[in-house]
Structure 1
């Protein structure tokens, strides 16, 4: 499978995996029960791997000619990948906790002991998600301003990130904003992934054609 197909699949599946994890945890009543806990977190692991690929792909599309623009794009790439790595660490920690414990009280006790390790809470659970989604927002705005992506893509990503950020500040039943953010991200990403898949199948079509914004046609 070529890197273009991998990128296309990442755009098309990452938001859906985020939504699947949410549905299993919130609607399925997994909470901490198996197999829902493991299924949801495996979905989120794959989602974050996909988002890391998306960040790399958007970096390649947004890379400008000037030194200043390249510095901004490179910094955004590093921030986004660091955020994705922190999110992956969070999912792996939760999976280990699930495998190592037998009931809810044990899970909570083990999770609290991990959170008490200096640096884990702020880096893995607080800064990680912020870094990843802020990087996606910056990349979407850059590409929208330079007309490398459609207005639909930029607006969808921006709205999704703002809703996801707001969800961390307000307690909403079932964490519904997380689902809304995932749906908006899927609506923004799917046309991009679909077009990239077609372009990978047809080498005659230029993937990085700057004159044509990528997105809904």
Structure 2
């Protein structure tokens, strides 16, 4: 699989892995701080990083326009905010000795003016909105099937209901974006060299 296509699918797979590691960590009733907390959030952070080239690869399947640029920019800003959120969770897990102290550190971080809006409540949602709009644009141009849009929406909404549904949500996202993989791979294929006729 070509690199760009790999990134398109690696982002959702990161969400699936995050959800599975989180469920494993919660199975003993003592999730965080510790190895399970760090592993889950590192996997999630890696997934968010993979979404950056993945979103750019999907955007290249559309003709250039100010609308496409705005949607991609919003998605990337949301991704950056999400990465900060996961990075903060990782740092808090490293500094805290127990769950109570970790919660206190998280509260202290959120008490900084603008942090909760920028990295938790509002800006991170731009990624999901941007990805959904981008998927709709691809479906409108038949680069993706129509069902990719509701399937992606389900993948976004399910973890909002409960984070225990993260693995299913990530799987829905992967299935929604998977039909674009051949097109992304095709775009990466080098052009056939022209042969001069003398």
Q: Compute the TM-score of the two structures, normalised by the length of structure 2.
A: 0.84
When residues 158 and 204 of structure 1 are mapped into structure 2, their CA distance, relative to the original with a 3 A threshold, is: farther
Is residue 143 of structure 1 aligned with residue 138 of structure 2? yes
- Between 118-127 and 154-163, the greater mean CA deviation after superposition: 154-163
> 1:112, 1:194 → 2: CA distance?
45
Gaps of 5+ in 1: 65-69, 206-217
Map residues 21-170 of structure 1 onto 2, 5 A cutoff: 21-29=18-26, 31-64=31-64, 70-164=65-159, 167=160, 170=161
1:153 Cα deviation from its structure 2 partner: 2.9
The alignment's C-alpha RMSD in Å is 2.3
Q: TM-score, normalised by structure 1?
A: 0.77
Q: Computing the radius of gyration over CA atoms, which structure comes out larger, 1 or 2?
A: 2
Decide whether the 8 Å contact of 1:140 with 1:158 is kept in 2: no
Give the Cα separation in 2 of the matches to 1:147 and 1:11. Answer: 18
Q: Distance in 2 between matches of 1:161 and 1:106?
A: 30
Deviation of 1:203 (Å)? 4.0
Q: CA deviation at 1:143?
A: 0.9
Q: Deviations over 1:17-72 (max 9, x none)?
A: 111111212333162132111111111111111112222122221235xxxxx121
Whole-angstrom distance in 1 between the partners of 2:184 and 2:140: 21
Structure 2, unpaired ranges of 5+: 193-198
